[in-house]
Amino acid sequence: MIDDTTTGAVQSIDGIWITPAGRYWDAVRLPRRLGLDAFNAVTGPLGAVVMAPVTRGMYFLVPPGTTRSWNLPQTVGLGEAAHIALPPAGRKYPPGPYWLVPPRRSQLHTPTYDLHCAVEIALGLRPGRPTADRPDLARLSLKQVKGVHCALCSHRLDQARKLGVFCTGEGLLAEPTELRACAPDCSTTSRSSLPAAGRAQAPEPANWKQPATEHRAMRFDRVTARPRTACCPLRPTS
Ligand SMILES: [Zn+2]
């Protein structure tokens, strides 16, 4: 077990840092589906976001001391006395917790008010952006998931815009994935790139799978010793 006296973090196996909240950041924990809806509804700057596949949750880092009055349903504000399992700096995929948005020195926090508004939109407590651009997640092809084809109209992408991050928890979208669509909208797709009218889209190989998503649970009281392999991703530089 490795201690980091600067951040109070303790490194367990696999480079996971068990780190106290309330010093350099607070965190807001949301269930994954609500969290992704909120993620897509944030209109301002986005700070670091941690995915926790084991618990199907996600954590937004917000400025320290700003979650004391956080009280939205299905969510928990985590400040002093709370600990979060933070992934190693470069981990962007499972197994274990990983960064959906890695920490950046210039943008570590999502502004708490912005996140609060986004969660309210996701909960239906506040009017938000229209949802007409939501793709049919159950019918996406591999090329749509990979960003080669538009996630809305399935035409090959030339100019693309971001639709948001989506996840169904299984199949091609077992983990949150950013989807793209024609820019500025699907009506501008050039005719030459359109498939023949009525031609069905070719199905993707049925055996294509995302990496496994369920892994051992992380428990603070089960950490074991391991040589130090990486710096705590949130350790401030002197
Ligand atoms: Zn399109």
Residues 6+ apart with CB under 8 A from 152: 133, 135, 163, 181, 182, 186
**154 CA from centroid of ligand 1 (Å):** 6
**237 CA from centroid of ligand 1 (Å):** 44
**60 CA from centroid of ligand 1 (Å):** 30
**197 CA from centroid of ligand 1 (Å):** 15
* Predicted pLDDT of residue 8: 73
What is the C-alpha to C-alpha distance for residues 203 and 112, in angstroms, rounded to an integer?
42
Mean pLDDT of 181-186: 92
Range among 60-64, 192-196, 211-215, 218-222 rated most confident: 60-64
Q: State percent of the chain over pLDDT 90.
A: 57
46-70 pLDDT, tens digit per residue, is 999 999 998 999 999 999 999 999 9
25 token code pair: 């950041």
| Least confident stretch, 20-24, 90-94, 116-120, 210-214 | 210-214
User: Does 235 score more than 90 pLDDT?
Assistant: no
User: Does 109 score more than 80 pLDDT?
Assistant: yes
**194 CA from centroid of ligand 1 (Å):** 10
Residues having C-beta closer than 5 Å to ion ligand 1: 150, 152-153, 181-182, 186
| Least confident stretch, 44-58, 110-124, 196-210 | 196-210
**79 CA from centroid of ligand 1 (Å):** 42
Q: pTM of the entire structure? A: 0.74
Grade residue 216 by pLDDT with cuts at 50, 70 and 90.
very low
User: Does 196 score more than 70 pLDDT?
Assistant: no
**126 CA from centroid of ligand 1 (Å):** 28
Higher pLDDT, 212 or 150: 150
Higher pLDDT, 234 or 42: 42
Q: Choose among 214, 132, 139, 203: nearest CA to 169.
A: 214
**41 CA from centroid of ligand 1 (Å):** 21
117-168 pLDDT, tens digit per residue, is 999 999 999 887 656 678 999 999 999 999 999 999 999 999 999 999 999 8
Do 189 and 150 form a contact (C-beta atoms < 8 A)? yes
**170 CA from centroid of ligand 1 (Å):** 24
